[in-house]
Chain A
Amino acid sequence: MIQTRRTITLGLVAALGAVLLNPVRALAAWNDGAFKARSTMDGMKALGISNPQDSSDIVIRAPEIAENGAVVPIDVTSNIPGTTSISVFIEKNPFPYTGSFEFAAGAVPFVHLRAKVGESTPVRVVVAAGGKFYTAAKDVKVTIGGCGG
């Protein structure tokens, strides 16, 4: 899936990429366009993320099957040197872009968050490091069972 995105978003690197790379509070303004994007691809485009390389140095810990989609715990650790930000996309949510987490020198590139997940979906993470983008994803299944009362 990412492959197709790569080609489409390739041209936007120069224009938007630089915005993300400042160490802290790079997202000086809350990125309305990215948060209103209806697809992961459009969200990435708005954030200037392009050409992310698959990376096994991004570790995503999230439930295979979540007990309640209202509160899905997600841990992301980036083992990529020079990581400056971690962005999270819940692909099947109405607005997939869920947030970006920025780390200054000294902060360990790790974040724990809890998100609403509407239906079973890949959770995609994009890491910015050294002017490049890296990505990994993990599938989360959502269940809501229980009595009819």
Chain B
Amino acid sequence: MKLKTLALLAGGATVLASCATGPGGTHREAVRLMQRDFKPVGIATMDRLKQDEVQAACNQYSNNPPPDVAATLQKKQLAGIKWPADGKLLGNWKEGEKIAQRGRGMAWNDKPGKTSRGESNGGSCYNCHQIGPATTSFGTIGTSLYQFGKARGYSEGVQRYAYGKIYNAKAYNLCSQMPRFGHSNSLTEQQMKDLTALLMDPASPVNQ
């Protein structure tokens, strides 16, 4: 019982430990220790432990930033999206399906833009989303994308939203759990077009 109380006290906030430093101080100390204790492996270099302003804000506000902070940062993220120069947003949904299924890339043994097996990076989409009807082993962290285009219509505006969200989810929802695949150079422009087609091509199984 006593332990439980202590755990609750400690868990309630960083109160006990950080009275000297304040919550921000605890965060800074944790980051300092991580930077001391971690070593780079291959493409996973130490700069990955340096938070950008989005990551820092989401940590600072426990993923629930005040609206004005969110709006300002989202605007900057949106402005950083590189739209395809040819103006075309839809690639090949069949390729998109493969990218959505694959979950590898960007980790210790992977290469820039390639997995350790030599494939192009995956989008890990099914890890978190329901997408095509044939795959029943989908995750539920993200919303269901089944019938994405059919439900929203196939307009260019929706295409832009889909492509933009894949490129930089934080431009639309600052502390989304979804990676910024274009912003982080995890996926190529063609791969993001293929994924957009998976969601937006009327012929894609997603929209049947």
Contacts and interface: CB of A to CB of B under 8 A. Distances in A.
Contacts of B122: 148
Interface in B101-134: 102-104, 107, 122, 124, 127
A148 B102 contact: yes
14 contacts: A143-B137, A145-B137, A147-B103, A147-B124, A147-B127, A148-B102, A148-B103, A148-B104, A148-B122, A148-B124, A148-B127, A149-B103, A149-B104, A149-B107
Contacts of A148: 102-104, 122, 124, 127
A46 B114 CA distance: 48
The binding surface of chain A is classed by DSSP as: loop
Contacts of B127: 147-148
A145 B127 CA distance: 10
Contacts of B103: 147-149
Q: Which of A143, A148, A149 has the most CB of B within 10 A?
A: A148
Nearest to A145: B137
The binding surface of chain B is classed by DSSP as: loop
Which 3 pairs across A and B sit closest by C-beta, in order of nearness?
A148-B103, A148-B124, A148-B104
Contacts of B104: 148-149
Contacts, number: 14
Interface residues of B, number: 8
Interface string A137-149: 0000001010111
Contacts of A143: 137
Interface string A101-133: 000000000000000000000000000000000
A58 B34 CA distance: 58
B100 to A, nearest CB: 11
Contacts of B124: 147-148
Given A148-B122, A148-B127, 12 more contacts: A143-B137, A145-B137, A147-B103, A147-B124, A147-B127, A148-B102, A148-B103, A148-B104, A148-B124, A149-B103, A149-B104, A149-B107
Contacts of A147: 103, 124, 127
A149 B107 CA distance: 7
B14 to A, nearest CB: 29
A147 to B, nearest CB: 6
B206 to A, nearest CB: 20
